[in-house]
Chains A and B, each alone.
Chain A
Amino acid sequence: MKDLSITVCGVKFPNPFMLSSSVVSNTAEMIARAFDAGFGGVSFKGIGGPSIEIINPAPRMHSYNIGSKKLVGLQNVEQTTDRPLKDNIQDVKWLKKNYPKNPIMVNIMGFNKEEWKYLALTFEDAGADMLELNFSCPHMSVEGSGMKVGQAFKLVRDFTEIVKKNVKIPVFAKLTSNVTDITEPAMYAKEGGADGITAVNTVRGVIGVNIDNFVPYPNVFGKGAISGYSGPGIKPISLKCIVELAKKKELGLPLAGCGGIETWIDAVEFLLSGASLVQMTTSIVKYGHRLVEDLIEGLSFYMEEKKFNKVEDMVGKALPNYYETKDFDLSRQGAAKFDLDRCIGCGLCYIACQDAGGQCIEWDSEKRRPIPDEEKCYSCMICSFVCPVDNPPLITFKEIKGKKVYTPPPSKL
């Protein structure tokens, strides 16, 4: 087994896998079991200041299923911790005593500068290794907190600054993706002195509406709300945010990736795209702590295969391959290639190409086989996405040297 440890802002994590600040990091007992199972660190469930009331909307979550796939996404209207401050302090102290090798990042959310200062000092005192400033909860019932701060960039700077002025431990700013450009608030956080960025919190969303009673999910006694959406469904958004932050040279801060991480492959993608730590919640809701065994084993086997000695050696490895679309070499063309010996004759590629593609596949109804025309193919590749024959895929993209871009003829109207 490889050494998976990584040091971020001087804090050594036994591995990059963390519980994110959420239902999964609510108590010391839960966190202790997660550490026992193999998690490296935790972002302790968001703790509000005295002016933020403890509330519990019921029910507070709903699952987004697609076909037979359950929990593709998770919608929640949960807010900060449902426990009193003194209990959380005691938990952090206990964890530090009993799990000294597992870093504790405490996620805090103040309402004003005094509160931010108070919470920061309180948890530095309790032994937290790091702080994570919650500028990103997408559904706070208190105006001027959570995501609303993350969208008012100057407040990001000011609140980070007051915390940084008062504590010595590293401070991460946890940002929201519900902004036009996440690097903007990140730069303000840096200006305030942040040592790192966590990206991202849940995405504002609505997973659905009950079509009988017209109430969106989760139905809190007849009322729904646009609120936080998480899980594999948001991975493309959270990964994008990590890439944008990692590519922002002026920022240059370590990153914790969060949003839709389920397998070691997801985690590796975040690491390669610039994250040094990865945090998760929805996948733990789905699989429990036992999934970390596979993150650890999978990452370790991958590092052996790719000859990475340290996790930090792979951080950002994919970044040079992220370009702007204007940089593409448009002189090179290709087409979808079909391995028709393995075709089962379902015709799904034909439907896709006719109704959503370039109409470059004809159908031989005698033989039940597609007849692709490489000349006309504009390489959207949607035929390969619907083809059920896999491993290796029956339809693949192949370059055709010298092929010219095909322009469809005028419509025959």
Chain B
Amino acid sequence: MIKEGKASKSKKVKYFELDKPYTLSQAIIEADRCLLCYDSPCSQSCPAETDPGRFIKKLRLRNIKGAVKTIKENNILGGICGLVCPVDKLCEEKCLATGIDRAINIGRLQRFLVEYGWDIGFNPIDKKKNKNVNVAVVGSGPAGLTCAGELAKDGFMVTIFEKNEKLGGILRYGIPPYKLNDDFLDREIKDVLDLGVKVKTNYEFNGKGSIENLLKEGYKAIFVSTGLQNPYKLKIPGSDAKNVFTYHDFLWKINSGKVNEILDKVKDKNVLIVGGGSVAMDVAITCKLLNAKTVYCVALESMEDLPSDREDLHKAIDHHVVIKPQSRIKEILTKNKEVIGARGNEIKLLKKGDFSPSNIKDISGTEFSFKVDMIIFAIGSGVDPKIKEYLPNIKFDDKGYIKVNKDTYETSVKGIFAGGEIVTGPSLVVNAVRDGKKAAKSIINFLNKQL
């Protein structure tokens, strides 16, 4: 009837553990705190249209399977979102329980319910009859997986093309395992694959038009969700030295079983991270979990304007990460091509909020230097230039992202749709899920018109 679930634990990497999941009784106590507001402001603030007001009410009334259903039918990656979503900026920020005490822990409840469903073997996702129409999804990050899941639910034959060995994209390789680990990710990806989605991993597109050509190879529509694969590095003296990483390369190694390669470079060493976003905090905390000595984050923004999610920032501070705001690194100091330190300045902006290089001025007398052994850039990422070659007829915008119709996610080529960060630029997992869902709806419309 109502059974206690088991926590999913990562046993692969001893440095990283997910936060403890709720037990059933803890979840019920938390659900009991929910006011069950009439029009659920929490439910109106999720880009992926998650309905916490409803799933918490269901949990409250012991309709636990129904609660799992409410989450998973709407978002096949609901468990992952529960783990990684910056809920304090979205649903929990709108929670009216704050008017009485504190917000309901919506993310944690969502994660609990999805894991509970797995543990009792309850799969609430229905699938329509097979339609025998092939659709290609290129890239298996959150947008691609969501879109593939939605299309498969509607009966389409979906094939995911993924260049890496395993599915998940940024979920697998771009999020540190203390936030989302392989076990959890694989359990949720299984829900997508169980719908009959086919997968081509280690798949390399090759040559001009190779993605567009899928339309000639029997695929009636293509969803492009390749994400941003071109991490930025500052072009400053020393940035080509050894031990200068991008967040992408660093997290890649952590997430592809190569922690040992990183460990020597980090353990008992000082690390400097350039950037002040959530990814910078992720990387900083990861270094700390790998027993780095001192970890610095140098960011252009002021402390109050740091783009990082508050929870990530607080966690970094809890791990004694040293934040150096309103500052920039101007030179990486090296000896025999090895990083030995970094030199920088505190800065001011000529025009508020404009971080373009011409608007940044050093404050004289604030020069600083850190003695560090490793530098990691976490200042965002751009579009992999090869994508343009694979998609020669697709229009891109000024920033290099794919141009789509905002309602239909259609690109400039009929039958090709796109979503996720390759369209929006750097964004949240939940926004990629939204794109995947909306694009799938539009693809279904498009294909149904043709059938």
Residue A298 is within 8 A (CB to CB) of chain B in the complex: yes
Q: Would B61 and A391 count as touching, CB distance under 8 A?
A: no
Q: Would A294 and B65 count as touching, CB distance under 8 A?
A: no
**Assembly CA distance A235 to B244 (angstroms):** 68
For window 43-75 of chain B, which residues contact chain A by CB distance below 8 Å? 57-58, 61-63, 65-66, 69
Given contacts A391-B23, A391-B24, contact A294 B66 (CB under 8 A): yes
When distances are taken between beta carbons in the complex, the residues of chain B under 8 Å from A263 are: 61-63
Residue A363 is within 8 A (CB to CB) of chain B in the complex: no
Given contacts A291-B61, A294-B57, contact A305 B1 (CB under 8 A): yes
Residue A159 is within 8 A (CB to CB) of chain B in the complex: no
**Assembly CA distance A86 to B288 (angstroms):** 76
Residue A153 is within 8 A (CB to CB) of chain B in the complex: no
Q: How far is the CB of B109 from chain A (nearest CB, A)?
A: 15
When distances are taken between beta carbons in the complex, the residues of chain A under 8 Å from B69 are: 297
Residue A143 is within 8 A (CB to CB) of chain B in the complex: no
Q: How far is the CB of B90 from chain A (nearest CB, A)?
A: 23
Q: How far is the CB of B40 from chain A (nearest CB, A)?
A: 11
Q: How far is the CB of A291 from chain B (nearest CB, A)?
A: 6
Complex partner residue of B1 from A287, A293, A302, CB under 8 angstroms: A302
When distances are taken between beta carbons in the complex, the residues of chain B under 8 Å from A264 are: 61-63
Complex partner residue of B4 from A290, A294, A392, CB under 8 angstroms: A392
Residue B18 is within 8 A (CB to CB) of chain A in the complex: no
When distances are taken between beta carbons in the complex, the residues of chain B under 8 Å from A305 are: 1
For window 73-123 of chain A, which residues contact chain B by CB distance below 8 Å? none
Given contacts A287-B57, A391-B23, A391-B25, contact A265 B62 (CB under 8 A): yes
Q: Would A287 and B25 count as touching, CB distance under 8 A?
A: no
Most buried by A among B36, B57, B61, B62: B61
**Assembly CA distance A302 to B62 (angstroms):** 12
Q: How far is the CB of A281 from chain B (nearest CB, A)?
A: 16
Residue A301 is within 8 A (CB to CB) of chain B in the complex: yes
**Assembly CA distance A391 to B21 (angstroms):** 13
Given contacts A390-B23, A390-B25, A391-B4, contact A297 B63 (CB under 8 A): yes
Complex partner residue of A287 from B4, B61, B66, CB under 8 angstroms: B61
Instruction: Sort chain A's interface into a size bin.
Output: 10 to 19
Given contacts A263-B61, A390-B23, A391-B23, contact A298 B4 (CB under 8 A): no
Q: Would B61 and A262 count as touching, CB distance under 8 A?
A: yes
Interface size on B, residues (CB 8 A): 14
**Assembly CA distance A301 to B62 (angstroms):** 12
Q: How far is the CB of A2 from chain B (nearest CB, A)?
A: 13
Most buried by B among A294, A295, A302: A294
Mark interface residues in A62-78 (1 if CB within 8 Å of B CB, else 0). Answer: 00000000000000000
When distances are taken between beta carbons in the complex, the residues of chain A under 8 Å from B57 are: 287, 290-291, 294
**Assembly CA distance A302 to B23 (angstroms):** 22
Given contacts A301-B66, A392-B4, contact A294 B25 (CB under 8 A): no
Q: Would A298 and B24 count as touching, CB distance under 8 A?
A: no
**Assembly CA distance A294 to B69 (angstroms):** 12
Chain A residue nearest to B62 (CB atoms) is A263
When distances are taken between beta carbons in the complex, the residues of chain B under 8 Å from A262 are: 61
Mark interface residues in B1-31 (1 if CB within 8 Å of A CB, else 0). Answer: 1001000000000000000000111000000
Q: Would A294 and B61 count as touching, CB distance under 8 A?
A: yes
**Assembly CA distance A351 to B121 (angstroms):** 40
Q: How far is the CB of B238 from chain A (nearest CB, A)?
A: 53
Given contacts A287-B36, A290-B57, A392-B4, contact A298 B63 (CB under 8 A): yes
Most buried by A among B63, B65, B69: B63
Q: Would B61 and A301 count as touching, CB distance under 8 A?
A: no
Q: Would A298 and B25 count as touching, CB distance under 8 A?
A: no
Mark interface residues in B155-177 (1 if CB within 8 Å of A CB, else 0). Answer: 00000000000000000000000
For window 241-279 of chain A, which residues contact chain B by CB distance below 8 Å? 262-265
Q: Would B65 and A297 count as touching, CB distance under 8 A?
A: yes
For window 278-332 of chain A, which residues contact chain B by CB distance below 8 Å? 287, 290-291, 293-295, 297-298, 301-302, 305
Chain B residue nearest to A302 (CB atoms) is B1
Q: How far is the CB of A393 from chain B (nearest CB, A)?
A: 9
For window 148-207 of chain B, which residues contact chain A by CB distance below 8 Å? none
Q: How far is the CB of A41 from chain B (nearest CB, A)?
A: 20
**Assembly CA distance A265 to B66 (angstroms):** 13
**Assembly CA distance A279 to B1 (angstroms):** 23
Q: How far is the CB of A264 from chain B (nearest CB, A)?
A: 6
Q: How far is the CB of B314 from chain A (nearest CB, A)?
A: 27
When distances are taken between beta carbons in the complex, the residues of chain A under 8 Å from B1 are: 265, 302, 305
When distances are taken between beta carbons in the complex, the residues of chain A under 8 Å from B66 are: 293-294, 297-298, 301
Q: Would B36 and A298 count as touching, CB distance under 8 A?
A: no
Given contacts A287-B36, A301-B65, A301-B66, contact A294 B23 (CB under 8 A): no
When distances are taken between beta carbons in the complex, the residues of chain A under 8 Å from B36 are: 287
**Assembly CA distance A263 to B24 (angstroms):** 17
**Assembly CA distance A181 to B168 (angstroms):** 65
**Assembly CA distance A297 to B23 (angstroms):** 23
Q: How far is the CB of A166 from chain B (nearest CB, A)?
A: 41
Q: How far is the CB of A284 from chain B (nearest CB, A)?
A: 12
When distances are taken between beta carbons in the complex, the residues of chain A under 8 Å from B25 are: 390-391
Chain B residue nearest to A265 (CB atoms) is B62
Q: How far is the CB of A297 from chain B (nearest CB, A)?
A: 4
Chain B residue nearest to A301 (CB atoms) is B65
**Assembly CA distance A390 to B57 (angstroms):** 21
**Assembly CA distance A187 to B264 (angstroms):** 85
Chain B residue nearest to A392 (CB atoms) is B4
Q: How far is the CB of A1 from chain B (nearest CB, A)?
A: 11
**Assembly CA distance A185 to B62 (angstroms):** 35
- 5 tightest CB-CB pairs across the interface, nearest first? A294-B63, A390-B25, A297-B66, A294-B61, A298-B63
- A293-B63, A302-B1 are known; give 12 further A-B pairs, CB within 8 A: A263-B61, A264-B62, A265-B1, A287-B57, A291-B57, A294-B62, A297-B65, A297-B69, A298-B62, A298-B63, A298-B65, A305-B1
Query: Could you list 9 examples of A-B contacts with CB < 8 Å?
Result: A262-B61, A293-B58, A293-B63, A293-B66, A294-B61, A297-B65, A298-B61, A298-B65, A301-B66
